[in-house]
Amino acid sequence: MANAIHLTAENYDKEVNQADVPVIIDFWASWCAPCMMMAPVFEEFAGEYHEAGTAKLCKLSTEEEPGIAQQHGIRGIPTLGVFHKGKEIERIVGFAPKDLLKEKIDAAIKKAR
């Protein structure tokens, strides 16, 4: 099963802007309890969506890459940004239970197609 791709300033353009499929970025931090609660679910989803070829799931640490988080106006975490062809098309803010999170991600991917 695939893991979420960890984004850095070096790989951001390739992984997000040049992606052929929608990209969901989990903006998170190590001190954020809701982020830690959502992490295993996001990793599980990463495997499912990567294998199906419907989306690429990535993680971006706001501690390690504050500049990218600031560029996207991230003010609270966890935040999932849904990108298509390098443009943000949807934003999911805050913790959500697994079923609701999947529903929101699926709706955002559908919107991108």
Choosing from 24, 32, 92, 109, which is the catalytic residue? 32
Based on the residue annotation, tell me whether 35 is a catalytic residue of this protein: yes
CA 34 to chain centroid, in Å, comes to: 15
Instruction: Characterize 61-86 residue by residue with b for buried, 16 or more Cβ atoms within 10 angstroms of its Cβ, and e for exposed.
Output: bbeebeebbeebebeebbbbbbbbee
Q: Are 25 and 60 in contact (CB under 8 A)?
A: yes
Based on the residue annotation, tell me whether 58 is a catalytic residue of this protein: no
Choosing from 5, 7, 25, 35, which is the catalytic residue? 35
Active site residues: 32, 35
